[in-house]
Amino acid sequence: MMTRITRLGRHGCDLVEALGRAGMFLGQSLVGRPSAEGFKLWLRQMHFIGVLSLAIVLVSGLFIGMVLALQGFTILVDFGAEDALGQMVALSLLRELAPVVAALLFAGRAGSALTAEIGLMKATEQLSSMEMIGVDPLKRVVAPRLWAGFVSLPLLTVGFSVIGIWGGHLVGVEWLGVYNGSYWGNMQSSVDFVDDIGNGMLKSLVFALVVTWIAVFQGYDLVPTSEGISRATTRTVVYSSLAVLGLDFVLTALMFGELG
Amino acid sequence: MNDSPLVVVEGLRFSRGDRDIFRGVDLTIPRGKITAIMGPSGSGKTTLLKLIGGQLTPDAGRVTIDGHDVHALSRKKLFALRRRMGMLFQSGALFSDLSVFENVAFPLRVHTDLPDAMIRDVVLMKLEAVGLRGARELMPAELSGGMARRVALARALALDPELILYDEPFVGQDPISMGVLVQLIRRVNDALGLTAVVVSHDIKETLSIADYVYVIADGKVMAHGTPESLNVDRDPRVSQFMHGEPDGPVPFHYSADDFYVDMLNAGKAGERR
């Protein structure tokens, strides 16, 4: 019994210590003067993290928009309310699906790659040798990746929403015959820029911070062995997904709880 | 030239988990000389270099470089101090996303404002010195272990550091490049007056270039002196190491229970996983 309590206590201490390390890590990486060199490194990472995630995010967005329209239509048509399809597709995507699904895909596509890349740099002593050359890997390796993650996920989310709404149009209007004017008209009158688009983007920004932070920290903090890298990569995807879903509920409650 | 030693290690203690690596190590590394640190595998030679470079923090004791206490410096000052050092890692630790040329150019690009043409000249000079000027376009994955180490040496020398730490420079070299490397380490030292620390267990090569030798075993400095004096040292532990005798006071085996008992207990206990 005592040993169990001790173990619980040790787990608690380890957890707090890891959170502290992760916080210090984030602070040390992000504080610093921007430079032309840093901008170039950031741009390179924008390509790896953002541009290369574009395909999977856009394809998923298209299919999710199409499925939403299909499912929504079969329900709405029973009430003769299929004119509200545009509104339904747009609101579901902007408020919920685009930020959450894009973040989950981002964690799987870019997060795991970040963890593995930084972890392998650590295992092969590249980070150590960089330190000995007098270059701080937090500034040179970690910071550009963090900023690239922060910027690219919200942009990917915009792409996800846009193509999802177009996918809904494809199925709803072109295929199932909802009137084109009511698809767009209802959407225009019901979507509020601040409440819907703004809050959705805010969610996406929070997810971007959390997912990128987890991914990069897991890579930097891992045990530098093959097993360590595989575990850390798994942890990145699991922790990020759980964090995104959990935070989504909290944020939704705060943002839309009183909208009614 | 300043006569005070460049690096002073005092009462250094360090442990990993339950295992004590260092139990009070004192060393002084004089300026402009090659100091060798030797000892059996697992005696913590690489750890010692990482402690000197400030990558690990000791449990007790101090490391000072040119009067600066390495572990009391702020992160920023530590990085500034490291610009005056070069370190050759055992694995080479080249940046795998940069070519050989860019690897050697890296310290020059980040720490100097030299124009590209001058960087090119310096890089080619350094690569020529390690015999790999022709390999400049290759990526690190295309190099053999020995070649990677020579590129890493060129990179460590790129900024002409005051202090250079060599971690096992001779491992994995063929006899020809071994000879060249030994000469090179000696030559850069004499020509540039830099201070070198060589960690190695290749006795013959190391003794041929070292000015002073420390032998580390069991977490302590077991002996120190000039190569000549160590060669004739009567201490049985020193002479066992210096002459590579298999058995003697320094055990070949990592500390373990009695072999006979261990074999009989197979499958009962002791296997921790």
User: Does pLDDT of A200 surpass 60?
Assistant: yes
What does the pLDDT average to over A1-24?
Answer: 90
Longest CA–CA span in chain B (Å) reads: 69
- Joined together, the tokens standing for residue A208 give 């971007």
From chain A, the residues in CB contact with B155 under 8 A are 133
Positions in chain B short of pLDDT 50: 273
- List the domains of chain B with CATH numbers: 3-229 (3.40.50.300), 230-272 (no CATH)
Q: What is the mean pLDDT of chain A?
A: 92
User: Quick check: A28 contacting B, CB < 8 Å?
Assistant: yes
pLDDT in tens, A64-99: 999 999 999 999 999 989 899 999 999 999 999 999
Cβ-based interface (< 8 Å): residues of B facing A:
50, 53, 55, 75, 79-83, 85-87, 89, 91, 93-96, 106-107, 110-111, 152, 155, 165
B110 closest CB neighbour out of A28, A124, A135? A135
What does the pLDDT average to over A13-19?
Answer: 91
| CA A45/CA B73 separation, integer angstroms | 32
How many CB pairs below 8 A link A and B? 58
The residue among B145 and A46 whose pLDDT is bigger is A46
| CA B122/CA A118 separation, integer angstroms | 30
CB B167 within 8 A of CB B199: yes
Name the H helices within A79-198. Answer: 85-91, 98-106, 112-123, 126-133, 137, 143-169, 180-190
User: What pLDDT is stored for residue A48 in this prediction?
Assistant: 94
User: What pLDDT is stored for residue A2 in this prediction?
Assistant: 81
CA distances from B63 to A68, A135, A136, B73 (A): 65, 21, 21, 11
pLDDT in tens, B4-24: 888 888 888 888 877 888 888
Across the interface, whether the CB atoms of B79 and A134 are under 8 A apart is answered: yes
> Domain map of chain A by residue range?
35-255
For the purposes of burial, counting CB atoms within 10 Å of the CB of B36, is it exposed (0-12), middle (13-18) or buried (19 or more)? Answer: buried
User: What pLDDT is stored for residue B252 in this prediction?
Assistant: 62
pLDDT in tens, B200-252: 878 888 888 889 988 888 888 888 888 888 877 777 777 777 777 766 666 66
Smallest CA–CA distance, residue A119 to chain B, in Å, is 13
The residue among B10 and A150 whose pLDDT is bigger is A150
CB B111 within 8 A of CB A134: yes
The residue among B191 and A202 whose pLDDT is bigger is A202
Smallest CA–CA distance, residue A38 to chain B, in Å, is 11
User: Does pLDDT of A62 surpass 90?
Assistant: yes
User: What pLDDT is stored for residue A41 in this prediction?
Assistant: 92
From chain A, the residues in CB contact with B68 under 8 A are none
Percent of chain A with pLDDT over 90: 79
CB A107 within 8 A of CB A49: no
Q: Which helix (H) or strand (E) holds B60?
A: strand B60-65
**Tokens 């320094």 correspond to what residue?**
B250
User: What pLDDT is stored for residue B273 in this prediction?
Assistant: 45
Q: Which of A105-119, A154-168, B214-228 has the lowest mean pLDDT?
A: B214-228
